[in-house]
């Protein structure tokens, strides 16, 4: 039963109607990581709305999310202010871009951060806690913290775990990316 359910979703035909379609637009590793992170971040509510807003987010980043995170000017960041997905506002998106910029400049990217933290801790929950602390280490509006679950506060971190599944799980169907090989799939 579980295997049949897994098979119904883990197939390329499912991609266009799923939030994973957002990172699937890209071939560059860093673009996929960042697009996947943002798509997972807004993955609550109506699936069609999530997908539409995820693609809209990428257009606001000139369809080059890694370059945008690394190099967006204040003027370009201000262009994010009109974005809204449920309670995730443009000000949250701006703070998230700046947090990812700090992660990128300090660690060399999302994958490098997660793989290093997991290598040190050997524990996915500890890695998620490390990530949240690093993510919010810089200046940010307190309101945006609600958009990144805290495992230390007992949250299941379902959206972050979905993002990790996309980045870690390797399969032969082409749905998940399997970019982060230093984290074992068994840790998910």
SS3 labels along 127-186: HHHHHHHHHCCCCCCHHHHHHCCCHHHCCCCHHHHHHHHHHHCCCCCCCCCCCCCCCCHH
Q: What is the pLDDT along the chain (188 residues), one digit of tens a residue?
A: 556 666 666 777 888 899 999 999 999 999 999 999 999 999 999 999 999 999 999 999 999 999 999 999 999 999 999 999 999 999 999 999 999 999 999 999 999 999 999 999 999 999 999 999 999 999 999 999 999 999 999 999 999 999 999 999 998 888 999 999 999 999 99
User: What value does the mean pLDDT of the chain take?
Assistant: 94
Between CA 145 and CA 59 the distance in angstroms is: 24
pLDDT on residue 171: 83
pLDDT at 13: 80
> CA–CA separation, 34 vs 55, rounded Å?
12
Structure tokens at 60: 């606001």
Measured CA to CA, the distance from residue 116 to residue 183 in angstroms comes to 9
Query: Which pLDDT does position 6 carry in this prediction?
Result: 61
- Residue among 58, 69, 54 nearest 15 (CA): 54
Q: Tell me, what's the pLDDT at 12?
A: 79
Report the distance separating Cα 78 and Cα 181, nearest Å. Answer: 36
pLDDT at 54: 98
Q: pLDDT tens digit string along 57-87?
A: 999 999 999 999 999 999 999 999 999 999 9
């Amino acid at each position: 039963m579980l295997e049949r359910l897994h098979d119904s979703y883990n197939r390329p035909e499912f991609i266009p109607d799923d939030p994973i379609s957002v990172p699937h637009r890209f071939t560059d590793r860093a673009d996929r990581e960042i697009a996947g992170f943002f798509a997972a971040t807004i993955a609550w509510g109506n699936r069609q709305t999530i997908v539409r807003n995820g693609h809209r987010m990428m257009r606001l980043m000139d369809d080059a999310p890694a370059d945008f995170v690394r190099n967006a000017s204040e003027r370009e960041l201000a262009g994010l202010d009109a974005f809204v997905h449920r309670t995730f506002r443009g000000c949250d998106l701006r703070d998230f871009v700046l947090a990812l910029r700090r992660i990128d400049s300090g660690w060399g990217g999302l994958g490098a951060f997660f793989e290093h933290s997991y290598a040190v801790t050997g524990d996915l929950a500890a890695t998620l806690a490390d990530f949240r602390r690093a993510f919010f280490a810089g200046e940010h509006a307190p309101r945006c913290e609600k958009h990144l679950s805290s495992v230390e506060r007992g949250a299941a971190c379902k959206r972050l775990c979905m993002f990790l599944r996309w980045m870690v799980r390797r399969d032969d169907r082409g749905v998940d990316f399997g970019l982060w090989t230093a984290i074992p799939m068994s840790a998910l």
